[in-house]
Amino acid sequence: MDRKKALIIGSGVAGMACAIRLANKGYQVDVFEKNEYPGGKLTNFRMNGYRFDAGPSLFTLPHLVDELFIISGKDPRDYFKYFEKEESCRYFWDDGTSVISWTDLDAFENEISEKFSTAPGTIKEYLVKSSQMYHLAGKIFMEKPLHKLLTWWSRDVAKAVSNLYKLDLFHTMHQANKKLLRHEKLIQLFDRYATYNGSNPYQAPAMLNMIPYLEHGIGTYLPEKGIYQITEVLFSLAKELGIRFHFNEKAEEILIKSGKSYGIRTHLGEYSSDLVVSTMDIMLTYRKLLQNQEAPEKILRQERSTSALIFYWGIKKQFGQLGLHNILFSNDYPGEFKALSEGNEAFTDPTVYISITSKDVPDDAPEGCENWYVMVNAPFDRGQDWNKMINDYRSAIIKKINFQFHVKIEDLIEVEDFLSPPEIESRTSSFGGSLYGNSSNNRFSAFFRHANESKKIKGLYFCGGSVHPGGGIPLCLLSAKILSDLCPNP
Ligand SMILES: Cc1cc2nc3c(=O)[nH]c(=O)nc-3n(C[C@H](O)[C@H](O)[C@H](O)COP(=O)(O)OP(=O)(O)OC[C@H]3O[C@@H](n4cnc5c(N)ncnc54)[C@H](O)[C@@H]3O)c2cc1C
């Protein structure tokens, strides 16, 4: 008997995770990808002896990748090795203060009390609260479909409701951090976690203060060959499972008849199936692939998450004071977020993030050199003058780095490339180049993310960074898990 068929649009981390889960359920899976390569945002490239991860640089909750191998009957360690980092990030301020955020709690507490003269236990107390939020709300908002009654009729919800005060529902991240941490630089350090899903700490709900627990409670990791290895190993596993990939084949329409999706049309032809999954950005899924269907306008109108501007620099020097992840903080954090939400001009004193995988993966740069991935948060694309923005941001970044490290970094850049919001949009069809779909800038954001299953069209599903439970590698992997649980057994 023929196996039931599933068609997946997009081969990013969500598309591949979904394909692996549905193949394990017994579906014959075909993945359609407009690019000639898998991975979507999670890709890499090489330039003159340097290798750069092009998109994500932070890797948390690695067990979610392992799980895909385990359900496929394989040992993840035969495919994929990663290691836990001892430090999650190095932070630098213009006044010369610097802090290493150690993942070991005692070391981090000592570092903070030494640098900021905080009361003993400040960090531990903060991270206990972060952990409580994660354990009370994370399961509900990250691992379950929010549109199903069963999710709300559960022991997890009852527990969260009886501990509502721990979720700090009526404050923003910044308000909660200000109350708990007091020291200005420490508040800024923890406010930064809002950017992990493209949000603004002065607006995002305090519940997002669960994010630091991911790094400091569960850990921060790096695959031994860099982040792109996640794409490589998932692609190998998918092929071993018999999943067929159709590269350079763009989906143009999801075919619907009598309230049921029965396949897709690409520029090369029509394919029929029992179910269709779109991992394309939800806005563009409705605007391009479902043009004759009523769109959920309220959801599509939600504020988008921020985008990013990244410079990839091959640097002909090594910097001992830098680690894998580094942040050079703005002196005006509220001003930076205001400029990001207004979106018209480059902010003159941006927070600069520098990731250097060659610190841990020596082959990523020639001897004596480093591969710098230099990123600033940038507004999503609304037709701004990007040539000007890119030049202005580049000058501001160089000024900040030179001031902090007493160098002339422009003379050390051996090779250079960049990625801007319009390119993020054109390469991966992410509306406005937003990194994480909708922002989480209000307390109801989670409820305004599109569900993983269409309420109106049978057999149509949605997965990935622009739908429930949100963007970022771990949430995309969870999105695939929720979706696969919602799909019928073939
Ligand atoms: C610069 C940057 C930095 C980031 N940093 C981090 C980080 O540090 N940590 C983290 O966890 N996350 C990070 N993220 C977010 C993370 O990369 C994304 O949330 C995640 O990769 C999204 O995966 P996805 O599969 O949902 O979408 P995508 O990766 O966008 O994949 C969608 C795929 O669908 C294809 N596609 C679209 N339309 C069609 C069509 N019509 N037909 C066929 N194919 C189509 C696209 O080409 C693409 O390959 C970052 C993202 C960027 C861009």
Give residue-wise pLDDT tens across range 316-332: 999 999 999 999 999 99
Q: Which atom of ligand 1 is nearest to the CA of 57?
A: 8
- Using CA atoms, how far residue 332 sits from 94, 168, 402, 483, in Å, is 11, 26, 18, 41
Residue nearest (by alpha carbon) to ligand 1 atom 6: 56
Quick one: which of 276, 266, 261 has its CA closest to 33?
266
Class of the 5-42+225-302+438-486 domain?
A: alpha beta
Q: Regarding predicted confidence, which is higher, 371 or 163?
A: 371
Q: Which atom of ligand 1 is nearest to the CA of 473?
A: 11
Over residues 135-143, the mean pLDDT reads 79
* Torsional class of 197: left (φ above 0), alpha (ψ -120 to 50), beta (otherwise): alpha
Q: What percent of the chain has pLDDT over 90?
A: 84
pLDDT at 486: 94
* Helix 63-70 / helix 473-486 crossing angle, nearest 10 deg: 40
What the block records as the tokens of 177 is 């951090």
**Residue 472 CA to ligand 1 centre (angstroms):** 8
Parallel/antiparallel/unpaired status of strands 82-84 and 307-315: unpaired
189, pLDDT greater than 90: yes
Neighbours of 136 (CB within 10 A): 22
**Residue 40 CA to ligand 1 centre (angstroms):** 5
Over residues 6-29, the mean pLDDT reads 98
Single-letter amino acid, residue 79: Y
Under the banding of pLDDT at 50, 70 and 90, the label for residue 153 is low
CA–CA distance, 13 with 231 (Å, rounded to integer)? 7
255, pLDDT greater than 60: yes
**Residue 11 CA to ligand 1 centre (angstroms):** 9
Query: Are residues 259 and 456 in contact, defined by beta-carbon separation less than 8 angstroms?
Result: yes
152, pLDDT greater than 60: no
For the stretch 433-469, pLDDT in tens is: 999 888 778 776 767 789 999 999 999 999 999 999 9
**Residue 133 CA to ligand 1 centre (angstroms):** 27
Q: What percent of the chain has pLDDT over 70?
A: 96
pLDDT at 145: 79
Q: Is 150 exposed, middle or buried (0-12, 13-18, 19+ CB in 10 A)?
A: exposed
pLDDT at 144: 78
DSSP category for residue 227: T
Query: Are residues 252 and 82 in contact, defined by beta-carbon separation less than 8 angstroms?
Result: no
Residue nearest (by alpha carbon) to ligand 1 atom 46: 428
161, pLDDT greater than 90: no
35, pLDDT greater than 90: yes
For the stretch 201-224, pLDDT in tens is: 999 999 899 999 999 999 999 999
Measured in degrees and rounded to the nearest 5, phi and psi for residue 238 equal -60, -40
What are the structural domain ranges in the chain? Answer: 5-42+225-302+438-486, 105-216, 306-428
136, pLDDT greater than 80: yes
**Residue 397 CA to ligand 1 centre (angstroms):** 25
**Residue 194 CA to ligand 1 centre (angstroms):** 19
What the block records as the tokens of 362 is 């020596």
Q: What is the mean pLDDT of the chain?
A: 94
CA–CA distance, 281 with 429 (Å, rounded to integer)? 7
CA–CA distance, 113 with 123 (Å, rounded to integer)? 9
**Residue 479 CA to ligand 1 centre (angstroms):** 13
Which stretch of 14-28, 72-86, 165-179, 291-305 has the lowest confidence by average pLDDT? 165-179
165, pLDDT greater than 70: no
Residues in the chain: 490
Give the helix ranges, DSSP H, for 241-385: 282-284, 297-300, 333-342
pLDDT at 162: 66
* Torsional class of 39: left (φ above 0), alpha (ψ -120 to 50), beta (otherwise): left
Torsion from C-alpha of 437, 439, 445, 451, nearest 10 degrees = 0
Query: Are residues 448 and 430 in contact, defined by beta-carbon separation less than 8 angstroms?
Result: no
Residue nearest (by alpha carbon) to ligand 1 atom 4: 56
First and final C-alpha spacing in the chain: 12
Over residues 409-413, the mean pLDDT reads 98
Quick one: which of 111, 160, 156, 110 has its CA closest to 133?
160
Residues whose beta carbon lies within 6 Å of some atom of ligand 1: 9-15, 32-35, 40-42, 55-58, 250-251, 279-280, 308, 310, 424, 428-430, 435-436, 464-465, 471-473, 476
pLDDT at 151: 67
Q: How far is CA 182 from the centre of its chain?
A: 29
**Residue 430 CA to ligand 1 centre (angstroms):** 8
Quick one: which of 132, 303, 283, 294 has its CA closest to 210?
132
pLDDT at 252: 98
Q: Which atom of ligand 1 is nearest to the CA of 419?
A: 1
Return the best residue to mutate from 64, 65, 428 for the ligand 1 pocket (most ligand atoms within 8 A of CB).
428
Residue nearest (by alpha carbon) to ligand 1 atom 27: 12
283, pLDDT greater than 80: yes
Quick one: which of 320, 346, 324 has its CA closest to 335?
346
DSSP category for residue 288: I
pLDDT at 158: 66
Query: Are residues 247 and 15 in contact, defined by beta-carbon separation less than 8 angstroms?
Result: no
pLDDT at 34: 98
Which segments of 292-369 are extended strands (E)?
A: 307-315, 325-328, 352-355
Over residues 339-358, the mean pLDDT reads 96
- Using CA atoms, how far residue 391 sits from 83, 328, 345, 386, 387, in Å, is 37, 19, 11, 8, 6
pLDDT at 147: 74
CA–CA distance, 243 with 20 (Å, rounded to integer)? 8
Under the banding of pLDDT at 50, 70 and 90, the label for residue 29 is very high
